[in-house]
């Protein structure tokens, strides 16, 4: 799962499900889904989340070993290699690291220069391409940095940001419909809107939510511990690079409060206005210098692709794509003397289920073909999936749907499932039927403010017009003595993107098996249907990214 906050990590909160009794399990005697076993899933998980994989950082030996393992499993299952080079599609990546010693943030106010301290007061990322950046400019506060005239909202009306640094909060207005909020809250959308108006730098401010779940102690601990990455196009350019933006920083709340003092708006007034979805943009009347140096390295890291060939000659060149990210966060800042970020749930679990889903389809291929892809560098910004979506090894038009697996939590006997994204297309009915058949209830997205639909690899496919869904367990436990929400929130706060997301986490294996079976049923339903899935008429994402 990719963090929701810029330059940060965390979150996905979970609201309790409806508390209904689970639907009865429908027996399915003659289906290949019976090949899914706890033992197989557990064996993959044990390999992928082992300390020896060192947290599977893209480009590192631990990830390479994991990639070889997945390819080996695909081979054993009799899949067809679907990469560019056998099982692999090598993704070229720029790996870059901020030179922390070089970071400069100076506030120029009232004739006085105040030099702030990296980590104590601010953090910043590196530049994807340039070795050195330095700029000094006025700062303009721009709310969320969102311009959405079709919703009657703009943070840019009435302010001139040409040649200026824009200061903005994470996320997008809570008053937006949730699809629009997901789209407008993305860093990519915000960067484009800022540079269209001539902005040259971005300062990120912490919302209350971000402050609550990503306290500055954690920001400090993790700052600079991992490389940033960008994938490289066939013409050698860094993808999603906005050279117009020459500097960026994130301020602690305390520092932001000091800097806003005496300007037309106080920090707390600004933050309250965003909470109320009210634009309150204004020049702040002071300047800031931002400077940094960045070191770059070009590396590659593979996606792993295997295909189960469909049985219907008419449909076998169409694909249902199952994806799961294989990478995690590598070695980082120690917590309780443990510096290996194993990512057992995130996403050794999803990768293990991907392999077992492949076992099901290999045992009994459907009419359409099924493409399985373990992607790299999701944690660095959905990079492996985005690369594949741009340079697919099968034609884009031939991909009829994407089913993504990312961080399914089986911390208790799971009674319900959230299916992100299915409501946008004809997949909705398919998904509900499939999960009911495994005894799960469908729960609507209980946390639209988390914008999860754009925060994992399915969004790379959605941006190419492919209908997608991404299932995660809901918060209802079949055990009435377990408060599912509390258990999941505890995981999010204390284990998500932490070294303790490791093999010591509890797993309800029966839930893992049923969840895998449910995901496989979705693929069968799509792959055997005469018609391919369709976006709903007038759907926001369907229209935005129409093929
Ligand atoms: Zn993650």
The string of pLDDT tens digits covering residues 508-529 is 999 999 999 999 999 999 999 9
- The single residue listed with the structure tokens 């994407």 is 402
Q: What are the backbone dihedrals phi and psi of residue 388, each rounded to the nearest 5 degrees, phi first?
A: -60, -40
pLDDT confidence tier of residue 546, bands split at 50, 70 and 90: confident
Q: What is the CA(11)–ligand 1 centre distance, in A?
A: 10
Kindly give the distance from the C-alpha atom of residue 407 to the centroid of ligand 1, in angstroms, as a whole number. 8
Q: Give the model confidence (pLDDT) of 53-105 as tens digits.
A: 999 999 999 999 999 999 999 999 999 999 999 999 999 999 999 999 999 99
Q: How much distance in Å is there from the Cα of 325 to the middle of ligand 1?
A: 9
Q: How far is the CA of 328 from the centre of ligand 1 (A)?
A: 7
How many other CB atoms sit within 10 Å of the CB of residue 183? 23
Residue 24: the pLDDT is: 38
- Residue range 117-154, pLDDT digits in tens: 999 999 999 999 999 999 999 999 999 999 999 999 99
DSSP 344: I
Q: Determine the distance separating the centroid of ligand 1 and the alpha carbon of 406, expressed in angstroms.
A: 8
> What's the chain's average pLDDT?
93
CA angle 279, 281, 285 (to 5 degrees): 165
> Mind listing the pLDDT tens digit for each residue in 224-253?
999 999 999 999 999 999 999 999 999 999
Q: How far is the CA of 346 from the centre of ligand 1 (A)?
A: 5
Q: How far is the CA of 112 from the centre of ligand 1 (A)?
A: 42
> The whole model's pTM is what?
0.91
DSSP reduced 3-state for 317: coil
The residue with tokens 């207005």 is 173
From ligand 1's centre to the CA of 92, what distance in Å? 21
Alpha helices in 305-447 (DSSP H): 350-363, 383-390, 427-436
Instruction: Please give the helix or strand (H or E) that residue 520 lies within, else none.
Output: helix 509-528
Place of tokens 């490389």: 227
Picking from 439, 367, 515, 402, the residue whose alpha carbon sits closest to that of residue 36 is: 515
Q: How many angstroms does the Cα of residue 463 sit away from the middle of ligand 1?
A: 20
What pLDDT, on a 0 to 100 scale, did the predictor assign at position 395?
98
Q: How many A from CA of 152 to the centre of ligand 1?
A: 34
Whether pLDDT at 13 is above 50: no
Residues near 311 by beta carbon (within 8 Å), at least 6 away in sequence: 365, 366, 367
Whole-number Å distance, alpha carbon 297 to ligand 1 midpoint, is 23
Tell how far the Cα of 45 is from the centroid of ligand 1, in angstroms: 16
Please report the pLDDT score of residue 453 as a whole number. Answer: 85
Between the CA of 94 and the centroid of ligand 1 the distance, in Å, is: 20
pLDDT tens digits, residue range 383-392?
999 999 999 9
127 alpha carbon – ligand 1 mean position (Å): 22
The predicted-structure confidence for 478-504, as pLDDT tens digits, reads as follows 999 999 999 999 998 899 999 999 999
Task: Report residue 266 as tokens.
Answer: 């106080």
Q: How far is the CA of 67 from the centre of ligand 1 (A)?
A: 18
Each residue of 241-279: b (16+ CB within 10 Å) or e?
A: bbeebbbbbbbbbebbebbbeebebebeebbebbeebeb
Query: Residue 111 pLDDT > 50, yes or no?
Result: yes
């Amino acid at each position: 799962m990719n963090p929701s906050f810029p330059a940060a990590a965390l979150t996905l909160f979970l609201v309790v499900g409806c508390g209904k009794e689970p639907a009865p399990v429908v027996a399915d005697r003659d289906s290949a889904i019976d090949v899914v076993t706890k033992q197989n899933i557990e064996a993959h998980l044990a390999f992928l989340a082992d300390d020896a994989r060192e947290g599977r950082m893209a480009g590192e030996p631990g990830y390479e070993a994991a990639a070889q393992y997945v390819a080996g499993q695909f081979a054993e299952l009799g899949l067809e290699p679907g990469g560019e080079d056998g099982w692999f599609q090598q993704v070229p990546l720029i790996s870059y690291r901020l030179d922390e010693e070089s970071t400069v943030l100076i506030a120029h106010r009232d004739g006085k220069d105040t030099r702030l301290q990296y980590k104590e007061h601010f953090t910043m990322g590196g530049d994807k391409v340039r070795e050195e950046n330095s700029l000094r400019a006025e700062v303009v506060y721009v709310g969320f940095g969102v311009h959405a005239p079709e919703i009657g909202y703009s943070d840019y009306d009435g302010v001139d940001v040409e040649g200026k640094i824009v200061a903005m909060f994470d996320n997008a207005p809570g008053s937006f419909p949730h699809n629009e909020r997901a789209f407008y809250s993305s860093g990519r959308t915000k960067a484009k809107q800022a540079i269209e108006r001539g902005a040259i730098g971005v300062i990120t401010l912490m919302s209350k939510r971000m402050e609550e779940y990503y306290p500055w102690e954690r920001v400090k601990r993790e700052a600079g511990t991992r490389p940033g990455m960008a994938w490289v196009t066939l013409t050698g350019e860094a993808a999603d690079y906005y050279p117009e933006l020459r500097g960026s920083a994130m301020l602690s709340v305390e520092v932001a409060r000091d800097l806003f003092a005496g300007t037309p708006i106080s920090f707390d007034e600004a933050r309250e206005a965003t909470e109320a979805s009210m634009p309150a943009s204004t020049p702040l009347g002071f300047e800031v210098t931002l400077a940094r140096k960045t070191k770059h390295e070009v590396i590659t890291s593979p996606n792993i692709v295997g295909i189960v060939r469909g049985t219907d000659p008419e449909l076998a060149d169409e694909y249902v794509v199952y994806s799961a990210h294989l990478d995690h966060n590598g070695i980082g800042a120690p917590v309780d003397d443990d510096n290996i970020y194993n990512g057992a749930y995130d996403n050794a679990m999803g990768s293990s289920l991907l392999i077992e889903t492949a076992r099901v389809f290999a045992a009994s291929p459907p009419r359409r073909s099924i493409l399985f892809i373990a992607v790299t560098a999701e944690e660095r910004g959905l990079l492996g999936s985005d690369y594949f979506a741009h340079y697919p090894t099968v034609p884009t038009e031939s991909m009829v749907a994407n089913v993504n697996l990312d961080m399914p939590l089986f911390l208790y006997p799971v009674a319900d499932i959230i299916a992100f994204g299915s409501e946008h297309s004809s997949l909705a009915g398919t998904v509900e039927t499939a999960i009911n058949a495994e005894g799960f209830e469908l729960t609507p997205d209980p946390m639209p403010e988390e914008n999860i639909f754009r925060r994992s690899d399915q969004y790379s496919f959605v941006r190419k017009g492919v209908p997608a869904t991404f299932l995660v367990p809901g918060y209802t436990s079949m055990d009435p003595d377990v408060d599912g929400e509390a258990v999941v929130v505890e995981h999010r706060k204390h284990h998500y993107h932490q070294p303790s997301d490791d093999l010591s986490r509890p797993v309800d294996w029966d839930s893992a098996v049923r969840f895998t079976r449910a995901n496989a049923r979705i693929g069968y339903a799509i792959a055997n249907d005469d018609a391919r899935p369709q976006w709903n008429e007038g759907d926001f994402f369907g229209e935005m990214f129409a093929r």
